């Protein structure tokens, strides 16, 4: 089941455009977008949990290992990231979006340490950090920085933004 945030804003993604699912995990967003007619590229360090489906291209890559971006020159109609933060990727993620493409990003933010993991500041967004990532290059459609109670208590930051 996709994140409620991703499902809510999926309609912004240009019809039929390719979707990049970053740190795809078990592939819930990959399957969601493939089911909506999008070709999907799912990237993760461990791809063993990703579903083998013709609509989903699976790319094994350690995004934090210091190696080059695994998809040079490729652009997508959407980049989806949930529950993952590696700040050095921000420029590559922005560059991977075609004009009019949509960034759907949702992860933990400062204050989450009260509720458990992640609690390391390296893995928690600062207040307004996602807004700074897109400033001047995107039109922000929706943004939240708030406490949630589902699936568990957490502090999250979310953005849906269209690249100019």
List all residues 6 or more positions away from 1 whose beta carbon is below 8 Å from its beta carbon: 28
What are the phi and psi torsion angles at 46 (to 5°)? -110, 110
Q: In the numeric block, which tokens belong to residue 152?
A: 């568990």
State the pLDDT at residue 51.
Answer: 80
Better-scored residue on pLDDT, 124 or 150: 124
Arithmetic mean of pLDDT, 115-141: 97
**Is 52 a residue whose pLDDT tops 90?**
no
Mean of the per-residue pLDDT values of the chain: 96
What is this structure's pTM?
A: 0.97
Phi-psi region of 12 (alpha: psi -120 to 50; beta: other; left: phi over 0): alpha
Q: Identify the bridge partners of residue 147 per DSSP, sorted by sequence position.
A: 155
The second-level CATH assignment, the architecture, of 4-163 is: 3-Layer(aba) Sandwich (3.40)
pLDDT tens digits, 21-44: 999 999 999 999 999 999 999 999
């Amino acid at each position: 089941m996709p994140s409620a945030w991703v499902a809510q804003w999926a309609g912004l993604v240009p019809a039929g455009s390719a979707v990049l699912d970053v740190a795809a995990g078990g592939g819930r967003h990959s399957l969601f977008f493939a089911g909506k007619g999008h070709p999907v590229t799912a990237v993760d360090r461990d791809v063993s949990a990703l579903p083998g489906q013709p609509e989903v291209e699976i790319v094994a890559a350690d995004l934090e290992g210091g190696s080059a971006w695994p998809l040079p020159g490729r652009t997508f109609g959407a980049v989806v990231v949930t529950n993952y933060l590696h700040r050095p990727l921000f420029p590559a993620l922005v560059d991977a979006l075609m004009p009019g493409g949509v960034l759907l990003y949702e992860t933990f933010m400062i204050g989450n340490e009260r509720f458990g993991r992640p609690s390391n500041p390296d893995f928690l967004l600062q207040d307004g950090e996602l807004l700074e990532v897109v400033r001047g290059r995107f039109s922000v459609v929706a943004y939240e920085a708030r406490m949630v109670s589902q699936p568990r208590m957490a502090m999250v930051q979310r953005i849906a933004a269209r690249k100019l």
